[in-house]
Every structure is written in C-alpha cells, then in structure tokens.
Structure 1
C-alpha cells in the first residue's frame, strides 16, 4: 500500500478526533492504514513530527478562509474558521499556545492574519502590530480552550450534572450567604447561561474595537 505523510497525518487526525491525543499511537495509526508500525518511520521521525503534520493539516482548512478587501472581514473569517476547526478537532486546541506552528499552512494563516491586522486603524507600526497580534492570539487560545474544556466536561458528566449540582449546591449557598462574595453571588444567581458562539462573537468584536479605537499621539 503506498503511503505518504499526508495519508499518515489524515489517519492520525481520525484517531485523535475519536480518542484524543492520549489515544494516539504509532501502532493505532499503522493499524488504521493496514501497515506495520515500522513503515511509518520511513515518513515521520517521531510523534512530535507527526503532531506538526496534523496541526498543519488543520491549518490547511483554516487557510481556505476567503480573503476580503476589508481587513476586519478577513480577520473575522480567519478567526471563525479557526474556531470551527478547533471544535471539529478538539485536540487542536490542546496544541495551541505551545511551541510555534511553522508548517506552510500555519505560516500562510499567520501571514494573512498579520497582513489584515496591520491595516487596522489603531495599528501604526510594527510594535503596535506585535501587541495586537499578541492580544488576538491570547484571546483566541483562551476562548477555544475554555469552550472545548466545557464541551468535554459536559460529555463526561452527562446525567451526573444534577448530582454534581446537588452535592455542591449547599456548600456554595452557605459561602454566598456569608456576604463576602457579593459579585460572585450576582453572577451565580442573576447571570444567564450565555451561548458560547454569541459570547465568542461579542468578545472578539470588543477586542477588535479596542485595537482599532486606540489612538496615540505622535
């Protein structure tokens, strides 16, 4: 059976989608492809290199975001495709924020993002661009990891959510009744359960508004 790095990465992605990164192994990938495990080492050196291939394959999906003539529309398209990719491949969020992603598709996404953001009104020089990119990346990594974690928790607890609330409820009630945590109490009692997509969009818009609204004196 002819192999390629792309086929190996695709098989690894299927396994990681189903079982997470902890369920990924050379033996499982080889079994998925119907070959002996040692054959894979003719194409990838180790798991670390394999993860790089998997990550760049996901970035290839993100890179399909159509460029727009307006910088903000381009950024929104890239960021939303990144969120879609992270929700489709939850393991991807686990690898964000670690070592730099330097595959060709990752670099293409990085170039498109930086080029678009460099056109924002509040970005006047390379220092502004670095800070704006840092803020955008920090938001994206934090938002995606939080959303994926909440999805995983919901799946793992399932019907046990009610039991968990029942076990923690009396303790939380006692703590809030002390009056020492009035703002936390407002969040717990009055706060609505916010839709994840709406929250993501709102916070992203707020971030971009902050970047574009920052005006400095010369």
Structure 2
C-alpha cells in the first residue's frame, strides 16, 4: 500500500498525524538540509517515540515524498493559467521560489515523477493549458524540456548559495580571490573564447539569468507547437495506468 493510501493509526496520548510529522520534517530540512532529517529526529521534535512514526511512514523515502508534495502545494497556481506559456513559466518560477524557501527541494527535483495529490494537481494544471494546442506527447515533451531547464538552473543556483555559506565568500569575493590566477591563465593565449567571455561578457544575477534562459527555452517550445499532430501517448502506460 502506498503512503498516499495508508490509513492513519488511532490517536494516542501524544497526538500525531501525518500533517504534523511532515511539518516537523520540513522544519528540520529547512534548518539543516535533508541530511538533518531522520525518523528519530522528527520523533524527538514531536516528543514522541520513533516507533510511533512507523504507523504513518515506513521509510525515509516515503517521508521525503510527503515533504516534497507539501511543497508542491506552494507551487500549485491559485488559478488555472491562461495559456501554455503562462503555465510553463509559472511552473518554473514557482518551483524556483519554493526551492529558495526550501533549499533541500533542489536535491529531490528531477527524479521519478512525484505522485502526491499536490504534485498531480500541478501536473494537471500545466498539461491542461497545453491540451487545446498540442497532442499529448508534444505536451509531455514540452513540460519535460522546460522542467529539465529549470531543474538544472535551480540546482546550480542553490549550489552557489551553499558554496557561499560554506566558504564565507560571496560571488564577487570569490571572483576577486580567483582573479590573479585566472588573469595569468587567460594571458597565455590558450583560452581566447573564455577570455572574451570574461572581459566582454555582461555579468547578470541569478534571477535575470534564470528568466533569460527560461524565455529562450519557451521560444524553442513555441517553435515546435504549431507542427504538433494527434498521436497516442505512452506516459500513462509507463506509470502502470490502464486506459479508461
């Protein structure tokens, strides 16, 4: 039985429920990342015995799945997007904003499809916006391509934020510290393309870089949509879902 279908055990002297467990786990992850989350630590935060949690959650992966789906509630748009571009753009920006609030989310993005109710609602809102202009396979590929872009961009941004905290050096402090070495290397003439990028390129912040890359990806998707034809898809069969 999946964690989404499992009934909750009866209430005991220290009241527990799945929602309280997930909230405690998210608080721990926000403080110390996923490495700071364990069933024992969650139980301690809730003043309950660790074995109590196994009535609700069997494994740490199940706990991560529940945590991720709770954050998907923050990603879910309040209203159905008006068109496909707004839907995919909203998905990208809302996922980035959620990851900046919960940095551990970047470690869970990009794996198997999330199947919690909030994740399914996000997928439904996104694909529904593409439904009238693209066949199902094209809609799925468009969503995958945009997802691959923003997952990589978010992971890079979070990695840089973690590096800043670990080293105590901001981006510009790190650039200044690395400057003398890089200057010597570029002066050898072995890296002319890199030298041009370093000396002539425009330095932009993470948000502008994210937005620019997203617009380029959406433009590429737009170029493919008019040629979409109606063909049957296999995504549901890959998840073990039977055709109605």
Residue 22 (structure 1) aligns with: 35
Is the Cα–Cα contact under 8 Å of residues 88 and 146 in structure 2 kept in the other structure? no
Query: Are the counterparts in 2 of residues 65 and 77 from structure 1 also a CA contact under 8 Å?
Result: no
4+ residue runs over 6 A deviation: 160-163
Paired with 1:92 and 1:62, the residues of 2 have a C-alpha distance of 12
Q: Which residue of 1 aligns with 2:9?
A: none
Question: Are the structure 2 counterparts of residues 119 and 87 from structure 1 closer, same or farther at C-alpha, using a change threshold of 3 Å?
Answer: farther
Taking structure 1 as the reference length, the TM-score comes to: 0.88
- Tell me the alpha carbon deviations over residues 163-190 of structure 1, each in whole angstroms, 9 at most, x when there is no partner: 8556643332222112221121122223
Shift of 1:128: 2.0
Which residue, 7, 13, 26 being the options, matches 1:13? 26
TM-score (norm 2): 0.79
| Structure 2: unaligned runs, 5 residues or longer | 1-13, 230-244
Give the structure 2 partner of residue 58 of structure 1.
71
Seen in structure 2, the aligned counterparts of structure 1 residues 88 and 164 have a Cα distance that, compared at 3 Å, is: closer
Matched positions, count: 215
Q: How does 1:60-209 map to 2 (within 5 A)?
A: 60-119=73-132, 124-159=134-169, 165=175, 168-209=178-219
Q: CA deviation at 1:73?
A: 2.4
The 1:112–1:191 alpha-carbon spacing in structure 2 relative to 1, beyond 3 Å, is same
Query: Considering only aligned residues, what root-mean-square deviation do their CA atoms show, in Å?
Result: 2.2
